[in-house]
Structure 1
Amino acid sequence: MSAPEVTGHRLGPPDGIPVGEGRAFAVGDRQIAVFRLRDGGLRAMDALCPHAGGPLADGQVDATKVVCPLHNYTFSVADGSCGNGDFEVTVYPVREERGEVVVDL
C-alpha cells in the first residue's frame, strides 16, 4: 500500500518556523506568512499588511492575532479581519502533513 499523496503547496518541515514566530514563503504567485503558534498550531495568511506593505511574518503573534511590525495593525489569525482598521488579509488552510507544512491556496 502506498503512502497518501501530499496535496497543496509543500513548504518544508515545521521546525523551519520557530515556535511563536512566522516565516514568509512564495507560494504560487503569492507571498504567504506562516506562523507556528506556541501551542504548536499553524496559521497562514497574506504576508503583506494591506495598510503599508509591512512584513506580517516579522510581526508579533499570539493565539488570536498577529501585529504588523510597521504600524501595529492587528489581524486575526482565524479570519484575517483587522482589529483596528478597515483592512483585512486572506487566511489560508495550513497543516502539517507527512512531516511538512502544507498550505492550500
Structure 2
Amino acid sequence: MDSVGTESRWVEVGMVEDVPRQGARVVATPRGDVAVFRTLDDAVFALDDRCPHKGGPLSQGTVHGHAVTCPLHNWVIDFKTGEACAPDEGCVTRIPVRVQDGRILLAMVA
C-alpha cells in the first residue's frame, strides 16, 4: 500500500540508456502519458506529461539540473516535488520511479 492507501505495482518501461541525458521519453499508461526524464547526473524522474499551466508537453521541454522548462510558456517544474518554480504556481503529478539493474520501473496504481 502507498501513502494514500492504494496498492501500486512496479512496471518496467525501458532501460536508463533509452532516455537521453537531459532528455525524456513518453510512456503511454492507462492513466495517460507519463514523461520519463534523465538528468545529466543520470537521475531518473517521471511526471504526468502535462504542464499545470496550459497542458504543454513537458517531455518536449528543456531538462536542466533536476527540473524541466515547459516548451510552451517557460514554466519550470521541479522533478523532486512536481511544483512549478516561483513566481508560477501549480503542480504536476509525480510518478514514483525505481532503477534496478539499469531498468526503469514506474509505480502504477493497481
Provide TM-score, normalisation by structure 2: 0.81
Q: Gaps spanning 5+ residues in structure 2: where? A: 1-8
Give the corresponding residue for 1:96. 99
Give the corresponding residue for 1:21. 23
Shift of 1:30: 2.1
RMSD of aligned Cα (Å): 1.4
Q: Deviations over 1:38-77 (max 9, x none)?
A: 1111011111112112110111112231100010011111
Q: How does 1:61-80 map to 2 (within 5 A)?
A: 61-80=63-82
Provide TM-score, normalisation by structure 1: 0.85
Q: How does 1:46-57 map to 2 (within 5 A)?
A: 46-57=48-59
Native 8 Å contact 1:9 1:27 kept in 2: no
Kindly indicate which of the two structures has a greater share of residues assigned to strand: 2
Are 2:57 and 1:58 equivalent residues in the alignment?
Answer: no
Shifted more, 91-100 versus 36-45: the winner is: 91-100
Aligned residue pairs: how many?
99
Distance 2:33 2:13 in 1: 12
Distance 1:39 1:91 in 2: 19
| 3-state DSSP of counterpart to 1:48 | coil
**Aligned AA for 1:102?**
L
| 3-state DSSP of counterpart to 1:92 | coil
Q: Gaps spanning 5+ residues in structure 1: where? A: 1-6
Distance 1:62 1:9 in 2: 26
| 3-state DSSP of counterpart to 2:14 | coil
